[in-house]
Structure formats: C-alpha cells, structure tokens
Amino acid sequence: MADDLERSVLVGKLTRPISGLMATTYRWVDERLGVTDLVHQLLYEAVPRRGAWAYSLGSATLILIVLQIVTGMFLLWTYVPSTTEAWLSLNFIEHHDEFAAIVRGMHLWGAYILFVVIGLHMVRTFVSGSYKKPRELNWIVGVVLFLLVLGLGITGAMLPWDQAAYWTATVVTHVVNYFPIFGTQLQEILRGGPQMGPATLTRFFAIHIWLLPALLVPLIGLHLILLRRHGEHGSWVNYEGVEEETEAERAQRMAHAEAPYPALPSDPGYAVPMDLDDFFPSQVFKDAVVSFGLVLLIFIMAIVIGAPIERAANPAALNYVPTPEWFFLPLDQLLVQFPQAWMIPVGVFIVPGIGTTLLILLPFLDRTPGRQPWRRPEVMVPALFVVLFLVFEALLAVNRLFNL
Amino acid sequence: MIMGINAAGAGTGLLIAAPIVGDILSPVFYKSKQPWVLVADIRHVPIGVPTAYVVMLNDNGDAWQAPLVPRTVYVVKANLSNAVQLITLSNVCTHMQCDVHWDINLNVFLCPCHGGLYSMIGTNIGGPPPQPLFRYQHKLVGTTLYIRNVLTEGK
C-alpha cells in the first residue's frame, strides 16, 4: 500500500509541470517503457540516516569516472596515437585550442582527484567495517576497480609521448622483464617489439581507451547491483546499541526493514541500520553537492594549472630526469630499495603482490566481531602502518628525486 | 543438444581467440636486420673520457618497417693494463632502461631514475642495476668507427 502511495506521489512530481498533450504523451511513453517504475526503483531506497556525507564518496567516484570517460572521448577529437603525431597533436591543443586544453586539464585533474576520492572511499569502507558479511564480494569487486583505475592512470600517463610519458612507459614495460622465465617475451608483447617504438604507443592507447574501460564499466555495474542487493551498510554510528538490544527489539526492527534491507546473511544486529532515510532526495542532495564541489575544483585546476606537456620524447636526451606520476612514487621507491639480481623481482612483484593479496582477502582475514574501528585493533593498527609506510615511501622518493 | 551448444560455443570461442592470441604474441617473433651505422672518427675521442655520440638506430624489430630513433652511444678509450681499449657502451641502464650519462665531476655513469652507478667501462659500482652496461658491436674502417645495434653483455 505504501508503495502504491509513493508511486502516485512520484507520478505527480514527474508530470506536475506538464499538462494537455505533453501529459498524454508522457502517459503513452510510460505505458510502453515503464519510465516511472524505473525512476521509482532507482530513487526510492532506504539508506542509513547518520554519517550520510561520508557515503557520498561512492557516488563521487562514479561521477568522476563518468567525467573521465566524457573528457576522454573529446580528447580523441584531436589526439593521434602515433609516436610522430601524439606530442604534436597535444602541443597544438596546449597552444592553439583553449577549450580543448581545458578538456585535457579536466581529464588530468579529474584523474588525480579520482585517485584521492577512491582512496577516501576505500578508507571509509575499511574504517566502518562495511566489507563484513554479507558484503565480502563487493569489497573484492571494489579492489579490482581500484586496480583498474590505477592501470588507467599509468597507461594514460604514457599517451602524450613527451619525455615524461616516454620514460614512464620505458620503466613500466621494463618492470615485466624481471618476471621469471617469460620476462623478456612479456616485455616484447607489451612493447610490440624488443624496444620502445610506434607499436608500444598504439598498444597502450588501446589498453587505455578500450581494454581497461571495457572491464571497468561492467564491474561498476556489478558493484552497484551488489550495493542495491545488500543495502548500504553505512557505518558503526548507524548501529549504536545493537549489542544491548533485546531479542524482541531486534525482531521489531527487522519487521520494519524497508527494501533493500534486510541484508541477509548478516551478523546479528547489523542487517538493518537503526534509523533509515530516503535515498531521494536526502542522500541524492548530499551526493549532488559533493560531486558539484569536486567537478568545480577540477574545472578550476584545469584552468589555473592545466595539464603540462614536456618536450617531445627523445631517447637520446642526456640531461632529462624522469620522475614517476605521484601515485606511483611508493612503487618507484621500492625499485631503489630492492637492488640487483634476485632482489628486483621481490621489489616489483612479491612486495606489491603481497599487499594486493592482503587487500583482496581482507574480508576473510578480519575475524573481529563488531564494526566499530576501536574494537577492531587487529586490522586497524596494521592498516595504519601500511598507510604510513606508503606515505613514508612516497616522501623518500620525493626526497631522492628532488635532491638529485 | 547441450553437447551441441557446448561444441558450438567452444568452436566460436576458438575461432575468435586464436588469431587474437597470435596477434598478441606476434612481437615475440619480430626480426630486424641491423646495419652498420657511422659514429665518428675515433681520433677525436679523448683517452679516458667517455664521449657521447647520437646515432640513429632501429631498435624495434619489424614494427612500422623499423623507424630510426636517436640513441646515445658512449665511445670510451679506456687505458686498461697499459693498452688502450675501445669500448662502445649503450647508455641504457640495465635496471629500468633509463638513459645514463657520464658525470664528469664524479667520474661515473649515473642513472637519474634510481641512482645506478657504473664505471668508465660500464661495470657496476653502485645502486640497483643487476648487470654492467651493454656494449654495441663495433668495427673500425681506418679510423672511422661504425656500430651495429647488436648488444653484447658488458664485463
């Protein structure tokens, strides 16, 4: 009954400004496409009431990825993926096409801010213990999405084919050379030949604009479908007092669960937040404000700083100091710390591999009860050390590169 | 019926996958012919100071009929056990393939990426590189030095 009432309210909202022929047309289309039902399904969902500003990070990540796809499409208006023309086409944009330069700046700063927002989204999920039963697999999908975005970042950095891009591509494709047994062949496959060349750029272009996005987009869909299946967990603030609840109180709370809750199977007490709110409009409003703020920041950075372009790639320049993109600084520092022969594969494969494996397996490693961060020191303290380690490695790398 | 679906599915997959896998693997089988390239008259190379020359080399196999790219070769006249030895060093660092350069103050080859250090004849003296600098094949016609983009391991 409540659903029918909500539906009629929604139809009213959707059709209120229109009348006469427009309203008749809307009804004609709606009967055939079910627009109202679709909008109803997308917007009317129960979400946790408290801490909702922190939950806007997920939608902000989605908006920023859409921004990357859109700006990327229009970079292709000009960009040519060829070793002789890539730099020329982007240099043209930077000096003769102000609007295209803004689009390029938004693509770069959108990527930088996307890394920050994705990081905060992961931290939020981690601190609130949202990866616990029944959301283990959605955490893993999220980690894979994070790795795909890192891959998009590093392949994108290769495409301008300026000095920075060329040496980034050189180092990244040479890392696989240290892979046991097939290293040399893997490097030739990635480079399209024994050394860097025209086939290297076309390969990474294809990986950047087709292969990785083709994996990214369906996985985002899966991430959202699973989110709707489980309902937003929110964070521990929405479950305060679950330990003191009586069986009767808990049963009553479950009885009043709205879709998509109850998120079963779940730990006792954590199936439904204590207090629910409507996704539309209260959460959508917060999502919209945060996304607007981020896109505004990206727009300003694109205009004020923009996307730099260095000199064209020159494999024979002797005075150039290559520096990695900032989000790869910790990995670059590992290259220095694991020198010579058998140590190099440890630094490039085993250490990052262990880190990634731990991240993927987190929901199965964390056996702590409860969701409050202070009640899960077994995972919070090691995670804090990992974050401090990454920051420390990045600082060491900056110190090394800028004191050369 | 189910067997038919499986067989048709496997056949379709194989027909699509086989050429794509071949396409992905093809660079492994690229070949390239490396011609001799003129570098310089070695009478201009001082003894004991590695001297950089830029030469145009093809180093990407068959791709796009082998475009030439500028590469640096360090020509070294090293005084080793009372005999002057001529060495043509590749300046590609053996760690992550950045360009090394001769630092005239420190008297070492220095890699700017991760701090690899090599001696005048390319042997490792510090940093992460796993092996000495590679050497180009070279030949002398009179006093004119030619190199070929065929690398031998350094010592």
H-type alpha helices, A159-282: 163-175, 183-191, 198-206, 212-230, 247-255
pLDDT per residue as tens digits for the range B20-51: 999 999 888 877 778 899 999 999 899 999 99
Q: Which of B29, B92, B97, B98 to mutate to test the interface with A (most CBs of A within 10 A)?
A: B97
Candidate from A88-92, B13-17, B58-62 with smallest mean pLDDT: B58-62
For residue A392, the distance in angstroms to the closest alpha carbon of chain B comes to 17
For residue A154, the distance in angstroms to the closest alpha carbon of chain B comes to 16
Strand A276-278 to B36-41 pairing? unpaired
Chain B residue with the nearest C-alpha to that of A400: B114
Kindly determine whether residue A339 and residue B59, on different chains, have CB atoms separated by under 8 Å. Answer: no
Looking at the structure of chain A, the number of domains it has is 1
Are B37 and B57 a contacting pair, CB within 8 Å?
yes
CA gap A355, A265 in Å, rounded: 29
Kindly determine whether residue B99 and residue A336, on different chains, have CB atoms separated by under 8 Å. Answer: no
Closest partner residue to A322 (CB to CB) among B27, B52, B113 is B113
Closest partner residue to A194 (CB to CB) among B61, B96, B124 is B61
In a domain, A135, yes or no: yes
Q: How far is CA A148 from the centre of its chain?
A: 8
Q: What is the pLDDT of residue B66?
A: 62
Q: How far is CA B44 from the centre of its chain?
A: 24
Closest partner residue to A315 (CB to CB) among B24, B71, B124 is B71
In a domain, A310, yes or no: yes
Kindly determine whether residue B91 and residue A318, on different chains, have CB atoms separated by under 8 Å. Answer: yes
Kindly determine whether residue A170 and residue B98, on different chains, have CB atoms separated by under 8 Å. Answer: yes
ipTM: 0.91
In a domain, A351, yes or no: no
Kindly determine whether residue A321 and residue B60, on different chains, have CB atoms separated by under 8 Å. Answer: no
Chain B residue with the nearest C-alpha to that of A184: B28
CB atoms under 10 Å from CB of B5, counted, come to 9
CA gap A78, A71 in Å, rounded: 12
Kindly determine whether residue B60 and residue A192, on different chains, have CB atoms separated by under 8 Å. Answer: yes
CA gap A390, A230 in Å, rounded: 32
Q: Answer whether B61 touches A (CB < 8 Å).
A: yes
Are A163 and A87 a contacting pair, CB within 8 Å?
no
Chain A residue with the nearest C-alpha to that of B95: A340
Which of these, B105, B97, B80, lies nearest to B131 by C-alpha position?
Answer: B97
For residue A69, the distance in angstroms to the closest alpha carbon of chain B comes to 26
Angle at A337 between CA A333 and CA A339, to 5 degrees: 120
Q: Which of B54, B60, B149 to mutate to test the interface with A (most CBs of A within 10 A)?
A: B60
A315 vs B contacts (CB less than 8 Å): 69-72, 99
Closest partner residue to B59 (CB to CB) among A195, A320, A341 is A195
Q: How far is CA A352 from the centre of its chain?
A: 19
Q: How far is CA B137 from CA A100, A339, A398, B53, B145, in A?
A: 47, 28, 38, 15, 11
For the domain with range B36-152, which CATH number is right: 2.40.37.10, 2.102.10.10, 3.20.20.10, 3.40.50.2300? Answer: 2.102.10.10
Q: Answer whether A161 touches B (CB < 8 Å).
A: no
B114 vs A contacts (CB less than 8 Å): 332, 335-336
CA gap B102, A112 in Å, rounded: 35
CATH of the domain at A80: 1.20.810.10
Burial of residue B93 (CB within 10 Å: 0-12, 13-18, 19+) is buried
Kindly determine whether residue B69 and residue A192, on different chains, have CB atoms separated by under 8 Å. Answer: no
Are A327 and A150 a contacting pair, CB within 8 Å?
yes
Kindly determine whether residue B97 and residue A174, on different chains, have CB atoms separated by under 8 Å. Answer: yes
Q: Answer whether A235 touches B (CB < 8 Å).
A: no
In a domain, A137, yes or no: yes
Are A202 and A195 a contacting pair, CB within 8 Å?
no
DSSP 8-class letter at A211? I
Are B92 and B129 a contacting pair, CB within 8 Å?
no
Kindly determine whether residue B64 and residue A197, on different chains, have CB atoms separated by under 8 Å. Answer: yes
For residue B124, the distance in angstroms to the closest alpha carbon of chain A comes to 10
Q: What is the pLDDT of residue A4?
A: 59
Give the structural domain span for A161: 46-326
Q: Which residues pair with B47 in a beta bridge?
A: B77
Ordered DSSP codes for A347-403: IIIIHHHHHHHHHHHHHHH---SSS-GGG-HHHHHHHHHHHHHHHHHHHHHHHHHH-
Q: Answer whether A403 touches B (CB < 8 Å).
A: no
Per-residue confidence in pLDDT tens, chain A, 404 aa: 355 566 666 666 665 666 788 888 888 998 999 988 888 888 888 899 998 899 999 999 999 999 999 999 999 999 999 999 999 999 999 999 999 999 999 999 999 999 999 999 999 999 999 999 999 999 999 999 999 999 999 999 999 999 999 999 999 999 999 999 999 999 999 998 888 888 899 999 999 999 999 999 999 999 999 999 999 998 889 998 888 889 898 888 888 888 888 877 888 888 889 888 888 888 999 999 999 999 999 999 999 999 999 999 999 988 899 999 999 999 999 999 999 888 999 999 999 999 999 999 999 999 988 899 999 999 999 999 999 999 999 999 999 988 75
